[in-house]
Structure 1
Amino acid sequence: MKNIKSKKTNVNPIKIFGTTNGINIVESPIKAKILSILEEEDRSGAEIVKLTGKSKATISAHMHDLVEMGIVNSKPNPADGRSKLFYIKSKSIGDFSRENEFKKEMDTYITENVVYSSDPFEFFRFIFRTIRVALMEEGFNIDPILHNAGIKVGLAYYNKLQNEEIEIMIDNIAHFWKENKLGNIKVEKLEPLTLRAYDCFECEDLPKIGKSACAFDSGILEALFSTHYSEKVDVKEIKCFAKGDDYCCFTVNKNLKY
């Protein structure tokens, strides 16, 4: 079996998924842990048992529930014909944690960034931030919604930005970013494609939450490059202002089926 690693968190948030049968809210800590594991990558039952530290019978019961809820499905394991891989088949809407990730900063945030702004664009920019910070303070993570919205924007603008030459397409994307005041895109390297974003609209003024926060930007880039390469790409934000970095940085990896 391959080496198994998973992100460690102290709190398993309530997960919210949209399925063909409607909205499903997952409050069980064990189910939330399983879904967090599957959000990272597809896993076999044995891997889920090892990562959760629960018994095979317990995990089997929870997996059965998640399949019945329409959130999880399974497929044959190409590495082992005797087992199957579980994966999330429904759309993640967000999650809710009862523990705030940072202290309340709303009053200072509004005073410094909204009240003294005279630029209409800056006003709406900071209103967007204020709404997001308010949700974050209440424990709501809407990154999946922002990511899906970014994908829709990327698909809508692809024909305007696309070019057979990847360097020209990147230049078009950089111009689009700057023209719409999303930030300034710079190429760090082409293999794997790594893009830096300075003056990031999405996260530059957010509180330092210790994790990447540019789900909307990631969605745009995912849609643009997936369509360009005619295969599913994986966009990872490896640096972010919200993590305390000096700029945001995205890697584009062609490692998934389209």
Structure 2
Amino acid sequence: MPDGSEPALAVPYRHTEGVARVVLAGSCISFSDRILWILQDEFPEYQFERSNQPVSLGKEQEDGLHLLIYDEDAAEKLLKSPQWGQARVALAFRNVPSIVDGLRRLGVQKLPAGLSLLPMNVQIDTWLSIVRLLLCGETYAPVDVLLQLAIPAVPGQEDRPMSQGAVGRKVDLSMLTAQESRVLPLVAQGKQNKVIAEELCMSEHTLKLHVHHIIAKLGVRNRTEAAGVYLSTRTEEAALR
């Protein structure tokens, strides 16, 4: 993950009318200029801003807010906000033990609907893929955090340890063929079919068949959820190494 070790870069903070906003609520230590620069370069259709002032969910929702990413230190204020459900919100965190302990201290036994958890200590490609999922309106939380909190996958299905879709349940990726195993990581990076097909030297028609088979094998509804399952599985495998 990028940090503040590189020179500060100019990032536009003035809101452009009609452009969806993404606000990172925290200090420059949590969200450096470098992070904002990378996000703005990767997702130019959005405007990224940092705010170290309290953010009113109600007001921000009316002001073109698309996604609000809070620093981990704001967890208590966020979870107690009466207007919590009015915006897409993610809670950024540095490591699993700290976020699990913090949530437990707040008495959280299950994540509120729509709240995502954004890990900040993963590889940049993985991190950007997770951000892409959040921008697409999906919900994401690392599987190891869910397991440690003992959060059921879906309300009323407590016997299932993992959730569906972008939150992801752990799957055995060895069920995929060699070609499917090459396709899925590229899908998780948010690459378009044409780009993936060119990179893997196959036709778009063949690529679409592979994506269709991947979706069926993973038991998800679309490529976005397939990406979520892949990222969740890889995150847990990395944590167990």
The answer, yes or no, to whether TM exceeds 0.5 is no
- TM-score, normalised by the number of residues in structure 1: 0.25
Higher strand proportion, which one? 1
- In our comparison, the structure showing a higher alpha carbon Rg is 1
